[in-house]
Chains A and B, each alone.
Chain A
Amino acid sequence: MKKCIVIDDDATARLIIQRLCSEIDNIEVIAEFPNAIEAIKFLNENTIDILFLDIHMPAFSGFDLIKTLKLPPQVILITSDKNFALDAFEYECVVDYLVKPLTPERFQKAIQKATDRKPVKNAKPDAQEANVAHELYVNIDRRLVKINIPDIYLIQAKGDYINIKTEEKNHIVHSTLKKIVDKLPEETFLKVHRSYVININKIIDIEDNSVLIKQDIIPVSRANRSELMKRLNLL
């Protein structure tokens, strides 16, 4: 029996997919979600065979979700928009692309394609492989917000929160410096003080025990100063 889940913000679409699955042998819908964020936890804790996924969803699109999955199931994209078909097939895990309203015949074909195909190893399209490490998703007010890692110039610890400062805006996130450092490229980011992690590429100047980044003067602790100096391309 193939285990499936449905992610679509439209309840009528979820019902229709359930109905269509109920007409097909060996397919079982084990869960459904009105948005991608609620589904991520489930997908990280459960193994499924087929994911029916809407593209257009508020806050976090179907494509955003695919990018977060390390071991994606077979994905059947279901959307009202014909324009994303080319983008969709850049993802190895996408087996079919269905345009709403769904018909039983076309749905059946998509299921056949999914069951005929071997499981994929990686969700990311080749062209985007290199980009994935450049993005970080943070949980803010129950939304997963994408931050471009190269845009981060400073991270400041503030109690149970961290303030991630980027060129565009600041993001206050419930997390620790240790957790975020583990997600960042170590050649670019350095903890210079117990409360600060900086992007070395964004340093403007260094004076005594502080660095200037954008308009922020950041203290550098004695213990971290030598590591900082090692990283600099000194003349």
Chain B
Amino acid sequence: METPNLNYIIELSGGDLEFQAKIVDVLKKEFPEELNLYKETAKTKDFKKTAGIVHKIKHKISILGLEKGYEQANQYEKELISNKDCSGTKFEDILNQISVYLSKI
């Protein structure tokens, strides 16, 4: 099972620790806000709006190295765009995994 990691960020940084710290700070700040926004919006059943939030979170999933998670988020976003009342359970599992990870680093 894949787990969140900073491999992409470290590789991109070329050893620039300041950049690594900055991006982790932004992830720690933005991710919980987006997670809450997602949860609130998903409850309203406004699928298009929820898709917009999933879209934004997708980038964070990808930079944390979750390739399968990214594909799942992609699929979920597509279903939401087509106005399907689909289950977000798998997507929410990914978000929870990221939350735990970010709280530890």
Contact = CB atoms under 8 A, between A and B. Distances in A.
Interface stretch (A12-20, A41-49, A114-122, A140-148): A12-20
Interface in B62-95: 62-63
A112 interface: no
Contact of B55 (A11, A23, A81, A104): A81
Contacts of B6: none
Contact of B63 (A23, A81, A101): A101
Interface of A: 9-13, 15-16, 19-20, 23, 56, 58, 80-81, 100-101, 104
Judged by DSSP, the binding face of B is helix
A9 B19 contact: no
Which of A11, A16, A20, A101 has its CB near the most chain B CB atoms (within 10 A)?
A: A101
A11 B14 CA distance: 20
A127 B13 CA distance: 41
Given A12-B63, A16-B23, A101 B55 contact: no
B23 to A, nearest CB: 5
B16 interface: yes
Contact of A100 (B12, B52, B59): B59
Interface of B: 8, 12-14, 16, 19, 22-23, 26-27, 30, 52, 55-56, 58-60, 62-63
B59 A101 contact: yes
22 contacts: A10-B30, A11-B26, A11-B30, A12-B23, A12-B59, A13-B59, A15-B19, A15-B22, A15-B23, A19-B19, A23-B14, A56-B55, A56-B56, A80-B55, A80-B58, A81-B55, A100-B59, A100-B62, A100-B63, A101-B59, A101-B63, A104-B12
Contact of A16 (B56, B58, B63): B63
A101 to B, nearest CB: 4
Contacts of B55: 56, 80-81
A100 B73 CA distance: 14
A101 B69 CA distance: 13
A108 to B, nearest CB: 13
Contacts of B23: 12, 15-16
B59 A58 contact: no
Contacts of B62: 80, 100-101
